[in-house]
């Protein structure tokens, strides 16, 4: 019994139990219909017997015929009523069942994603801490030359940055969840912000080349910290999912009086069916057991939320011949000409 409850809780038995209940309810409805039709037949039989006792068909054939017609009509009306009511019940039942099934599936999927998230986050939290600890212990224990020391310190800073990004993402996700997130807007030189942010990431990345083509003098009223998170999420994703040595491009330009901000890579790309889903909370493409790149599935969820708060949109397109283009469109900005 305990095992059954456990299976129910974990969602494994929900579908069979659900299908059983649905079939049982439909069969009960059909049986109810059969009983009503039988009852209707009986009523017609009694009415006919009663008619035969009341009116003699040979002496009053006209009256008998009229009464007989009324009995048949009543039976037809009952049949129509039962079929109509049955069909409406069945329709309500099926629509309800479909809605419940959708809700259960959504719930189970979310549960699974949260479980994956917990596993991934635990690993993501532990691995940078372990790496930083090891690096610091090595520096303390051994007499290393300056170059090696620098290497270890750089590595430690990289790991703490990863940790910092993850913590920011988790905190922000919980703020968005409870609608507590507010932007601290200010007028900022967005071109400079993007250039400085990309330069900073480029400086600590030795696996990829990051190229920028940023139109200067673009100002907008936005939240500096949030926009930095968007840049970091998109570029860090490209670094994470794209083969080493390839180029990542960060572009900012005006098109048709709109501001376009693109992060382009030449990686594996994102399959058509996944393009919308990657923006869902905790969603990660593929299977948790086979996936090698670690993550929380929060980055793009937050990115979209932040861009929406800035009254913008984000879409993902295919890059040619391969790779991904994340394109953000913002309408509220001003461009200064030199
Ligand atoms: P995380 O990176 O923590 O898994 P994200 O929300 O940032 O979460 O990304 C969701 C998913 O989208 C990732 O798991 C990855 O499969 C896919 N993805 C994101 N960026 C890229 C990219 N540049 N190239 C290929 N796949 C990507």
Q: What is the pLDDT of residues 259-309, one digit of tens each?
A: 999 999 999 999 999 999 999 988 888 876 656 777 778 899 999 999 999
CA 275–ligand 1 middle distance (angstroms): 10
Tell me what pLDDT residue 262 has: 98
Q: Looking at beta carbons, which pairs linking 282-287 to residues 24 or more positions away fall under 8 Å?
A: 282/110, 282/113, 282/114, 282/116, 282/117, 283/113, 284/116, 284/120
Dihedrals φ, ψ of 160, to 5°?
-70, -30
Q: Which helix (H) or strand (E) holds 182?
A: none
Cite the DSSP H helix spans in 142-185.
146-177
Q: d(Cα 62, Cα 114) in Å, to the nearest integer?
A: 77
- In the predicted model, is pLDDT for residue 135 greater than 80? yes
Dihedrals φ, ψ of 251, to 5°?
-120, 145
Task: Residue 262: name the closest of 315, 310, 221 by CA.
Answer: 315
Identify the band that residue 119 occupies on the pLDDT scale cut at 50, 70 and 90: confident
Tell me what pLDDT residue 179 has: 75
Tell me what pLDDT residue 299 has: 92
pLDDT digits (tens, 9 = 90+) for 143-160: 888 899 999 998 898 889
Task: Tell which wins on pLDDT, 289 or 189.
Answer: 189
Query: Residue 165: CB within 6 Å of ligand 1?
Result: no
Task: State the sign of the Cα–Cα–Cα–Cα dihedral 175, 180, 184, 189.
Answer: positive
- In the predicted model, is pLDDT for residue 87 greater than 60? yes
pLDDT digits (tens, 9 = 90+) for 64-78: 999 999 999 999 999
**Helix, strand, coil share of the chain (percent; to 5):** 65, 15, 25
Residue reference for tokens 């059969």: 34
Task: State the sign of the Cα–Cα–Cα–Cα dihedral 146, 148, 149, 155.
Answer: positive
Task: Residue 326: name the closest of 280, 260, 281 by CA.
Answer: 260
Q: Let me know: does 312 contact 331? Beta carbons within 8 Å.
A: yes
- Please state whether the peptide bond connecting residue 236 to the residue before it is cis, i.e. omega within 30 degrees of 0: no
CA 13–ligand 1 middle distance (angstroms): 31
Q: Let me know: does 281 contact 297? Beta carbons within 8 Å.
A: yes
- Residue 11's SS3 state is coil
Q: Which helix (H) or strand (E) holds 319?
A: none
Ligand 1 atom having least distance to the Cα of 298: 6
Q: d(Cα 74, Cα 80) in Å, to the nearest integer?
A: 10
Q: d(Cα 5, Cα 2) in Å, to the nearest integer?
A: 5
CA dihedral 123, 128, 132, 134 (to 10 degrees): 30
- In the predicted model, is pLDDT for residue 106 greater than 60? yes
What is the average per-residue pLDDT within 178-200? 91
Identify the band that residue 190 occupies on the pLDDT scale cut at 50, 70 and 90: very high
Query: Residue 128: CB within 6 Å of ligand 1?
Result: no
Task: Tell which wins on pLDDT, 123 or 59.
Answer: 59
Tokens matching residue 72: 């048949």
Tell me what pLDDT residue 153 has: 92
CA 4–ligand 1 middle distance (angstroms): 37
Q: Which of 6-15, 178-187, 208-217 has the lowest mean pLDDT?
A: 6-15
CA 309–ligand 1 middle distance (angstroms): 21
Q: d(Cα 191, Cα 158) in Å, to the nearest integer?
A: 25
Query: Residue 326: CB within 6 Å of ligand 1?
Result: no
Q: Which residues contact 333 (CB under 8 A, 6 or more apart)?
A: 190, 218, 219, 220, 259
Q: Which of 25-29, 165-169, 262-266 has the lowest mean pLDDT?
A: 165-169
Tell me what pLDDT residue 93 has: 93
Q: Which residues contact 240 (CB under 8 A, 6 or more apart)?
A: 293, 295
Count, residues in the chain: 338
Tell me what pLDDT residue 117 has: 74
To the nearest whole number, what is the mean pLDDT of the chain? 89
């Amino acid at each position: 019994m305990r095992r059954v409850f456990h299976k129910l809780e974990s969602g494994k038995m929900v579908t069979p139990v659900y299908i059983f209940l649905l079939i049982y309810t439909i069969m009960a409805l059909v049986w109810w219909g059969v009983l009503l039709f039988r009852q209707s037949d009986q009523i017609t039989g009694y009415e006919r017997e009663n008619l035969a006792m009341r009116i003699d068909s040979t002496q009053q054939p006209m009256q008998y015929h009229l009464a007989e017609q009324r009995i048949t009509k009543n039976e037809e009306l009952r049949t129509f009523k039962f079929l109509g009511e049955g069909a409406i019940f069945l329709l309500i039942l099926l629509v309800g069942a479909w809605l419940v099934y959708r809700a259960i599936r959504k719930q189970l999927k979310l549960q699974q994603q949260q479980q994956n998230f917990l596993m991934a986050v635990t690993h993501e939290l532990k691995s940078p801490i372990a790496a930083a600890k090891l690096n610091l212990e090595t520096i303390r224990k051994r007499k290393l030359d300056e170059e090696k020391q620098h290497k270890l310190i750089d590595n430690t800073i990289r790991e703490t940055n990863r940790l910092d990004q993850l913590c920011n993402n988790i905190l922000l996700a919980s703020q968005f969840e409870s609608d507590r997130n507010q932007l601290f807007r200010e007028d900022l030189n967005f071109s400079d912000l993007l250039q400085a942010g990309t330069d900073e990431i480029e400086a600590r990345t030795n696996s990829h080349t990051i190229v920028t083509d940023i139109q200067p003098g673009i100002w907008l009223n936005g939240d500096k910290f949030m926009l930095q998170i968007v840049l970091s999420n998109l570029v860090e994703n490209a670094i994470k999912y794209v083969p080493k040595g390839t180029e990542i491009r960060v572009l900012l330009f005006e098109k048709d009086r709109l501001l376009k901000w693109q992060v382009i890579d030449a990686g594996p790309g994102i399959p058509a069916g996944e393009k919308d889903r990657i923006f869902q909370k905790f969603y990660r493409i593929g299977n948790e057991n086979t996936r090698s790149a670690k993550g929380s599935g929060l980055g793009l969820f937050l990115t979209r939320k932040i861009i929406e708060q800035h009254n913008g949109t984000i879409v993902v397109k295919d890059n040619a011949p391969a790779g991904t283009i994340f394109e953000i469109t913002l309408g509220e900005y001003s461009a200064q000409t030199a």
